[in-house]
Amino acid sequence: MTVGGEQLLFVRQLVQRKTAIVLGEDKGYLVDSRLSSLARDLGHADATTMLDHLRKKPDLALEQRVLEAMTTNETLWFRDRAPFEALRQHVLPELARSGAGSRQLRIWSAACSSGQEIYSIAVLLEEHFADRFAGWKIDLAGTDFSVEMVKRASEGLYSTLEVNRGLPAASLVRHFDREGANWRLKPSIRSRARFWRMNLVEPWAPMPAWDIVLLRNVLIYFDIPTKEKVLRAASRQMAPGGYLLLGGAETAVGICPELVPEKIGDATFYRLEGREQ
């Protein structure tokens, strides 16, 4: 039996309530294929049996697995390239100057998936900024709704298909060790980043202010009021003079006026309105 009707509605409402992800009514096939493989993994006869189980009595662990199965985790190294070029050429040199007093650099990947985004920054820092940030306190953080993704990111273990995606070969051989069919990030990079679970649509626990916030390819799944709420919260988490980066198909324009777009190189960053120059 396939997931449909009332059960589909149940899943869509659960996903929207807990993650704010808006699942179109036409996504029945996706719900069905993703939950069928989860049901198989967990030893349920099929997806409908698993959902019946969940609807009868609350089971937070199962609920989390269902929610995680419904999120898209696709990510890659140096995604879209231009933002990372801009970080290398303009943003990081600027932060090296402006932060010379405190000698602290804080960067947060707010929906980090399996970690490629924040580790791309770690690779950039290692390859191009080792001297300029020598002796600095550098805090690289990644958070995600998914427990599974947080675990994967912390492990820093990637398949060949994953290292093929956007990672220059010279960086691959320099920063990874082959481990069976996979590739493990060397401790020199892996130890630079820390990861924890965080749901962007629930109240945020206290955090430091970040010099760079990467909030990429996650707002696309939210409705406008949720986008606004998350952007507001992110703007409050930016250090003075900080930078916010969104995904290629995302914008804060018309949603969060305190965030002002600024074209840097070939990428668009957002800065806080009225910040001191």
Partner 1 sequence: MKALVVDDSRAMRSILSRLLRKAGVDHIAEAADGCEAIACLDDDDLPDIALVDWNMPNMNGLELVGALRGRPEWRRITILMVTTESEQGQIVRALAAGAHEYLIKPFEEESLFDKLAILGFHQPVQGDSTNDFAHN
Ligand X SMILES: C[S@@+](CC[C@H](N)C(=O)[O-])C[C@H]1O[C@@H](n2cnc3c(N)ncnc32)[C@H](O)[C@@H]1O
As measured in angstroms, the least distance from the Cβ of 114 to ligand X is 8
As measured in angstroms, the least distance from the Cβ of 84 to ligand X is 12
| Choices 52-60, 65-73, 178-186, 258-266; region in contact with ligand X by CB under 6 A | 65-73
CA distances from 65 to 35, 37, 71, 272 (A): 9, 11, 10, 37
User: Contacts with ligand X in 183-212 (CB under 6 A)?
Assistant: 199-201
Say how far apart CA 195 and CA 29 lie, in whole Å: 32
The residue (of 147 and 260) whose beta carbon lies closer to ligand X is 147
Say how far apart CA 156 and CA 141 lie, in whole Å: 14
DSSP letters for 66-118:
HHHHTS-----TTTTSHHHHHIIIIIHHHHHHHTTTT-EEEEEETT-TTTHHH
The listed partner (ligand X, partner 1, none) that binds 165, CB under 5 to 8 Å by sort, is partner 1
- Residue 275 as a binder of partner 1 (CB under 8 A): the answer is no
Q: Answer whether 233's CB lies under 8 Å from 201's CB.
A: no
What's the number of CA atoms in the CB half-sphere (13 Å) around residue 26?
Answer: 0
Among positions 2, 10, 18, 27, the unique one binding partner 1 when judged by CB under 8 A:
27
| Choices 87-95, 132-140, 161-169, 205-213; region in contact with partner 1 by CB under 8 A | 161-169
Which residues are near partner 1 by CB under 8 A?
Answer: 21-24, 27, 30, 70, 72, 74, 76, 80-81, 160-161, 163-166, 168-170, 172-173, 176-178, 217, 220-221, 223, 248-249
